[in-house]
Structure 1
Amino acid sequence: MPHSPINQQEINNTVWKACDTFRGTVDPSIYKDFILTMLFLKYISDMHQDKVDELSKQFGDNPAMIEAMMASQSFKIPTGSTFWDLYEHRHEAGNGSRIDQALHAIEEANGTKLKNVFQGISFNTDKLGEEKQKNDILRHLLEDFGKETLNLRPSRVGSLDVIGNAYEYLIKHFAAGSGKSAGEFYTPPEVSDLLSILLEPEEGDQICDPACGSGSLLMKCGKQVQKNYNGSKKYALFGQEAIGSTWSLAKMNMFLHGEDNHRIEWGDTIRNPKLQDGNGGLLHFDVVTANPPFSLDKWGHEDAGNDPFARFRRGIPPKTKGDYAFISHMIETLKPGSSSKQGGRMGVVVPHGVLFRASSEGKIRKQLIDENLLDTVIGLPEKLFFGTGIPAAILIFRKRKTDDKVLFIDASREFQSGKNQNLLTTDNIQKIVDTYQNRQTVDKYAYLATLEEIQENDYNLNIPRYVDTFEEEEEIDLMVVRSERLALQNELANLEAEMAGYLKELGYE
């Protein structure tokens, strides 16, 4: 039977509607893991079944050959562990334990590829209620994902990235609807697009996000390489994420987007950086980018003075604000570059306080500027990020700059207004990119500042100190205003006289 045509919006809506099974019973911060994991399981099961059917056509009378061919596949699902095995038994007791067993079996069968990915996710949890309620919820969930709309077989999907798109769609909606903490694992796509263009990832680059969340920013950088190098996937993605469940999302996200060349570590980047070389030193990258948590409290201040990687040699950030802890880490992981290859470049999203706060942050900022590492400061509009309405900025650093100046761009006033969230349009992004690449002063929008000017401002990077956006009010001609007022008075007197005449005709004196 031919498959119905694929429709991205229909898939997105169907998956989002599956959340109705949990709404009113379970908090979104909990059920997002169930929904995203089930989408992953459904996709790999459909992919598995598609391959089985394809081999059955070739070797229909030789089940041993089919089994041997499936065993040689790069991704394996043990017998009895597919989505459809679970679906078949959905009316029986024990849905939670069966799903957990299937996920564990899949993890075990695929070695390092999915090692520990499902360990923080249990469908057999009391958070879904008592046994009967839990079993009913999971039965409904299996039925939601068993609909023909969510037939995700490669023979139906083709080369379209509908699964990856649906995953990103879900992650975005969970971030938008679940408050500040949920927003930490997701960077709005427009900001990811902007960063990936500004940082110019090249073929062969190693790209890192030390606070990678669900991995969307990393994958945007990969897509940029593919776009600019005829679909090339000659690049490597590296990341680290502190929250276990979010790390799992990143691993699944990479798989669903076909990003095979990646290394995503689980752990606290500041306290325990996992991306190390064979000698125990930090790995170095061509591109480093991140949207780390803003002004993180308890970031690891107590151990920073004895950091074995000397990341805080320019100064130790304040105890209750970890912004410069992430910046310092990222700077230390940039490649120096060479005459034949541009050096490491870095883009980080920060709150505006990073631009002007004094004390230890001021000292770190001064040294970064004096070392000629800071390249560009970009002010973004407010309400772009989930969970916070405050405006943010992007800082671009480069190891091999061609001048000793800093470009300031004030893009804070140009955006598309939304009900709860503002957006950067394609034109907004292009204007920022063009200004960044031209590296020249633009009236009311950008200013190329010399080191001396920044020094005169005591290394304060507050954008209004450099980009004058003041619009002079048009001079008022009082004689014109007086003549307009007299004309209005005459018009009013004529109207009064006309009205008096009408009233007189009607018998009113």
Structure 2
Amino acid sequence: MATDIQLHKQQAQELSNKLWAIANDLRGTMDASKFKDYILGIIFYRFLSEKTEKYMEEILKNDGMTYADALASNNEELLAALDKYSLDSLGYIIRPEYSFGYIVNMIAGKYDGKVFSVDYLEKAIASIQQSTLGQKSEAAFDGIFDAMDLKDKDLGKEVSDRTKQIAKVINRVNDIEFSYDDAQFDVLGTAYMILIGLFASDSGKKGGEFFTPSAVSELCSKLATVGLKSVKSVCDPTCGSASMLLEVRKAVIANGGTAEHAVGHYYGQELNGTTYNLARMNMLMHDVPYQYFNLFNDNTLEKDNFGTTKFTVQVANPPYSAKWSAASSFLDDPRFSGAGKLAPSSKADFAFVEHMVYHMDDDGRVAVLLPHGVLFRGGSEDTIRRYLIKDLNVLDAVIGLPANLFHGTGIPVCCLVLRKYRNGNAGNICFIDASKYFTPGKNMNQLSSDDIDRIVNAYVERKDIDKFCHVATMEEIESNDYNLNIPRYVDTFEEEEEIDIKAVMAEIKDLESQRASLDAEIDKYLKELGILED
């Protein structure tokens, strides 16, 4: 199994490399971070199209006809039934003449009198969205292709230029072999997420807010799902491209849960409209039916679209030390009223934590990534920190991670694990310093499987490990005046090697002797050249 997974990861990396090459080859004067919208949009379109083809092939196999045959039959009753099946199951309709394969053949000139134009693709995309209007799936598909602006002059000033450019992208995407039938590993989805990461790096997004590396998402998901074989609901209030939401399902399956029942429902909210579209695409491409996720495009702190809904698991990588209004009216918001003070307007970190704590179910768990400042800063943050520890007693673990794990920022971050029920650990908090355990990379550091397991195992076992883990009592926390700075609890001091002064002095004398000899030899050559006088 391990060999298979390694092979699939290698295949996914090869796919992402090919897609990245397409971007660099075709984007011309358009910035790569913008051109990604066309590549990812075409990939998504191909996915929807081939999913429709496979679905129709399955439901029509006993009728001995293809989807195109069914449409050509003009059997209104059959067509109405097919439309209903497609909308109920897939959430959208793609007619055969708008399928990805049909468009590829049109570009190749296989249909007499039919010439491909970017306008035709625009109609095809519009037909998908129109099919969802008034349906239960409308929210899942509304505006999902908006970032792929086929009229953008940066793509080409004339229709012919844009047609030529988009045709190249379609042909390149068509040349890549995507494996949709691999039950063990989602090669397409993995390549898709790697590609998002590459674009995030290229566009210099700060604070990891656009894309959380898969290893960090895996760590948070494992910490938040310890012992769970099914999760009623999972939420990420700053969901980005939905990578952390999808990692939760993997973590639950790794715990022994089944893929079908791993997660009951997914919730998320994302401020950036383009990233919000990516999140919905990502969910659908990972076979999460539209009926099982609700994602919102809004500012989570300013507008809580989740209402009073409570979640079993929450994971998040909020934008670090983001600004927010901190308006006094928020003191009446049940999410923030408990502490009696609001997170400062210049640093919303604790506001995100309070939002998540409010939405914790009876046995809710949270894993959230934050800058280290939340562990020790004073003022209102000190008040909120004391409220979470002393009054609510929901802070279960504080984990320090290595620096330079995220695209666009080198700062080290911490992961806070919070639980509604502490399961016998109400009298302590687990501190882990994992800052020294990582694999150095060219542009950023990475967490290996061993690094992740080391952290998760220490969190589960809750035993002191020299220079790595310490389980601090509440009395200890109180004695430190509720300052959670990790070095206060985990001794990371390393004794320096004893210096042999005599050996060092002898080495210095030897070097000075060598230098004197070299100086004399250089003087000799300079005199011979007439540069230095006797």
Give the TM-score, by structure 2 length.
0.80
Residues 240 and 266 of structure 1 are in contact (CA less than 8 Å); yes or no, is this contact kept in structure 2? yes
What is the aligned partner in structure 2 of residue 247 from structure 1? 276
Q: CA deviation at 1:359?
A: 0.9
Shift, 1:258, TM fit: 0.9
Distance 1:471 1:29, change over 3 A: same
Residue number in structure 2 paired with 1:326: 352
Match of 1:392 among 406, 409, 413: 413
Contact 2:207 / 2:409 at 8 angstroms: preserved in 1? no
In structure 2, the partner of 1:109 is 131
1:503 aligned residue = none
Residue by residue, what CA displacement relative to the aligned partner does 1:381-436 show, whole Å, maximum 9, x if unpaired?
A: 00001110000000111111123211111110111111111011111111111111
- Report the count of equivalent residues: 470
Among 238, 243, 247, the alignment partner of 1:211 is 238
Give the aligned residue type for 2:327.
E
State the secondary structure of the residue aligned to 2:418: strand
Among 363, 378, 389, the alignment partner of 1:369 is 389
1:258-407 alignment, distance < 5 Å: 258-260=287-289, 261-276=292-307, 282-297=308-323, 299-302=324-327, 304-305=329-330, 307-314=332-339, 315-335=341-361, 337=362, 343-371=363-391, 372-401=393-422, 402=424, 403-407=426-430
Maintained 8 Å contact 2:231/2:313? no
3-state SS, counterpart of residue 266 of structure 2? strand
CA distance in 2, matches of 1:126, 1:303: 45
Q: CA deviation at 1:318?
A: 0.8
Displacement, 1:100?
2.7
What's 1:455 paired with? 478
The change in CA–CA distance for 1:80 and 1:431 in structure 2 (over 3 A counts) is: same
Question: Structure 1 117/222 Cα, relative in aligned 2: closer, same or farther at 3 Å?
Answer: farther
User: Does structure 2 retain, via aligned residues, the 8 Å contact 1:195–1:347?
Assistant: yes
- Counterpart in the other structure of 2:467: 444
Shift of 1:254: 0.8
> What pairs up with 1:3-402 in 2 under 5 angstroms?
7-52=11-56, 58-60=62-64, 63=70, 64=73, 67=79, 70-71=82-83, 72-73=85-86, 74-75=89-90, 76-90=93-107, 95-110=117-132, 111-113=135-137, 114-118=140-144, 120-121=146-147, 122-131=149-158, 132-147=160-175, 149-150=176-177, 154=180, 160-181=185-206, 183-200=208-225, 201-234=228-261, 235=263, 236-260=265-289, 261-276=292-307, 282-297=308-323, 299-302=324-327, 304-305=329-330, 307-314=332-339, 315-335=341-361, 337=362, 343-371=363-391, 372-401=393-422, 402=424
Q: Which amino acid aligns with 1:472?
A: E
SS in 1 for 2:230: coil
Q: Tell whether the 8 Å contact from 1:381 to 1:414 is kept in structure 2 after alignment.
A: yes
Percent of aligned pairs with the same amino acid: 36
**Counterpart in 2 of 1:507?**
none
The structural deviation recorded for 1:190 is 1.0
1:130 Cα offset (Å): 0.6
**Structure 2 partner of 1:279:** none
CA deviations on 1:296-319 (whole Å, 9 max, x unpaired) are: 12x232365355434243121111
8 Å CA contact 1:304–1:312 kept in 2: the answer is: no
CA change 1:383–1:275 in 2 (3 A) is same
- Cα distance in 2, alignment partners of residues 198 and 238 from structure 1: 19
- 1:333-375 CA distance string (max 9 Å, x none): 111x3xxxxx211110001111111111111111111122111
- The offset of 1:228, in angstroms, is 2.2
Matched residue, 2:439: 416
- Give ranges in structure 2 of 5+ residues lacking alignment: 1-6, 518-534
